[in-house]
Amino acid sequence: MLNTQKAIDLGAKRWTKNGYDRLYINLDMVEAACEKYNDGVVPMNRRAKGNFKMWAEVETGEIKSQGMGNYADDIERWVAQYIEEA
C-alpha cells in the first residue's frame, strides 16, 4: 500500500475533488526514481516530460500515468519503489 505521507514528503501534491483522492507525482520524483532504479536514465523524451501526468489513487495505492510512452509500466513501478523505500 502506498504511504501517502511519504509521497507528500517527497513532493507529491494531494488533490481531492468529486470523489477522487489522488496524489499527483511531479517530474522530480520520476527523475529521482529513474536515477535510483534505472542507472540514472530517464526513458522519456522532451515531449513526454512536458506532457506526462502521473498520480496515485490514495484509496488503492495504484500508480497510474498518461503520456509516459513505452516505459510507463517500468516508471510507475520505480516510482512506487522509490516512495516505499524513502
pLDDT digit string (tens) for 45-67? 877 888 889 999 999 999 999 98
Mean pLDDT, the chain, integer:
93
**What is the pTM assigned to this prediction?**
0.91
Domain extents for the chain?
4-85
pLDDT recorded at residue 14: 98
**Strand blocks (E) in the chain:** 13-17, 20-24, 53-57, 63-66
pLDDT recorded at residue 4: 95
